[in-house]
C-alpha cells in the first residue's frame, strides 16, 4: 500500500496560473519534504517541515509556498508558474525521533508541465 | 555543511557483470548515508542505508555498500547486474546538525546491456 501519496501524478498548468500539488502520508512521520527534480538532475530541496516548523531553503524562489495543515498533509503552491518551473516534484517524509534519522520515504512524484 | 559527490555520471555495464557506483561525502558531524534508485517517471526507492554499526550494509535487489569513515566514502556495489537494474542511482546524506535535511548527489545513470 502506498504510504506517501502525491496527487495528481501529472499536472498541466498555464503560464502564470497558480497551481497546487498535494501530498499525503499514512506513516505519521514528523518531517515532510518537497523536492524539485529537473530532467537528469538530482532532487533539489525546496523546503521541509519538522512538525509545524517550516524551513525554507535560502535559494527557493518566493514563487513557491507550502502549507502543512496537519501531520498527514502537505501542499506545494506555485503562485505564478513559469516555464522554468516545469519539473518533477517529489514529496518525502521521514521520522526524526530523538535525533535518530530513518530513511526518507518518497511519493511517486507529480510531473508538472507549464504551457 | 554537508555535501555529496557521485564520481561517475554514467556507468554502462554488461548483464551479469559487477558494478560499483562511487559516492563521497563531506560532513563535520556524524552522518547517515543512503542509496536510492529511481526508475523513469517514478519516485525514489531506498536501496540501503547506513545509520550506525556494521560498515558493510546490505540492501534490496542484491546491492550492498560499505561505509568508510577515513575515506568519507559510501560506495555501492552489486556482484552481478540484471537488465532491470537500469536506472538512476542517488547517494544521499543527512546529519544531526543540519535541520533534518537530506542532500543528494548528482546521480549515476546505470545502463545494463545484454
pLDDT band at A40; cut points 50, 70, 90:
confident
Q: Spell out which chain A residues touch chain B, with contact meaning CB-CB distance below 8 angstroms.
A: 4, 6, 31, 33, 40-43, 45, 48, 50, 55, 88, 90, 92, 94, 96, 99-109, 111
Does B53 touch chain A if contact means CB atoms closer than 8 Å? Answer: no
Coil, strand or helix: which one is B9? coil
Task: Specify the pLDDT at position A103.
Answer: 81
**Searching chain B, which residue's CA lies closest to the CA of residue A98?**
B96
Q: Which three cell numbers stand for residue A52?
A: 509545524
Residue B100 predicted with pLDDT over 90: no
Q: Confirm if B90 and B103 have CB atoms less than 8 A apart.
A: no
Name the most confidently modeled range: A56-60, B31-35, B48-52, B84-88: B84-88
Contacts of B85 (CB under 8 A, 6+ apart): B19, B61, B78, B110, B112
Does B2 touch chain A if contact means CB atoms closer than 8 Å? Answer: no
pLDDT band at B96; cut points 50, 70, 90:
low
pLDDT band at A33; cut points 50, 70, 90:
very high
Which among B92, B99, B102 is the nearest to A55, CB-wise? Answer: B99
In tens, the pLDDT along A44-79 reads 999 999 899 999 999 999 999 999 999 999 999 999
Task: Specify the pLDDT at position B101.
Answer: 79
CA of B25 to nearest chain A CA: how many angstroms apart?
A: 15
Coil, strand or helix: which one is B91? strand
Residue A96 predicted with pLDDT over 80: no
- Mean pLDDT, rounded, for A85-96: 92
Q: Which three cell numbers stand for residue A109?
A: 512524484
User: How far apart, in whole angstroms, are the C-alpha atoms of residue A47 and residue A34?
Assistant: 6
Which among B43, B103, B105 is the nearest to A107, CB-wise? Answer: B43
Q: In chain A, what percentage of residues exceed pLDDT 90?
A: 81
Amino acid at each position: 500500500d502506498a504510504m506517501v501519496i502525491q496527487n495528481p501524478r501529472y499536472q498541466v498548468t498555464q503560464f502564470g496560473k497558480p497551481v497546487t500539488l498535494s501530498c499525503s502520508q499514512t506513516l505519521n512521520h514528523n518531517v515532510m519534504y518537497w523536492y524539485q527534480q529537473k530532467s537528469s538532475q538530482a532532487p533539489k530541496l525546496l523546503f521541509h517541515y519538522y512538525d509545524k516548523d517550516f524551513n525554507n531553503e535560502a535559494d527557493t524562489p518566493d514563487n513557491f509556498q507550502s502549507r502543512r495543515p496537519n501531520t498527514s498533509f502537505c501542499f506545494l503552491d506555485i503562485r505564478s508558474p513559469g516555464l522554468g518551473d516545469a519539473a518533477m516534484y517529489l514529496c518525502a517524509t521521514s521520522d526524526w525521533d530523538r535525533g535518530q534519522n530513518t530513511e526518507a520515504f518518497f511519493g511517486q512524484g507529480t510531473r508538472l508541465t507549464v504551457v | 555543511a554537508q555535501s555529496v559527490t557521485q564520481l561517475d555520471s554514467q556507468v554502462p555495464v554488461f548483464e551479469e557483470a559487477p558494478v560499483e557506483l562511487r559516492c563521497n561525502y563531506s560532513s563535520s558531524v556524524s552522518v547517515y548515508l543512503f542509496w536510492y534508485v529511481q526508475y523513469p517517471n517514478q519516485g525514489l526507492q531506498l536501496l540501503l542505508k547506513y545509520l550506525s554499526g556494521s560498515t558493510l550494509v546490505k540492501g534490496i535487489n542484491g546491492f550492498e555498500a560499505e561505509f568508510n569513515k577515513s575515506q568519507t566514502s559510501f560506495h555501492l556495489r552489486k556482484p552481478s547486474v540484471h537488465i532491470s537494474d537500469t536506472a538512476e542511482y542517488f547517494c544521499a546524506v543527512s546529519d544531526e546538525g543540519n535541520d533534518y535535511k537530506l542532500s543528494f548527489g548528482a546521480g549515476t545513470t546505470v545502463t545494463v546491456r545484454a
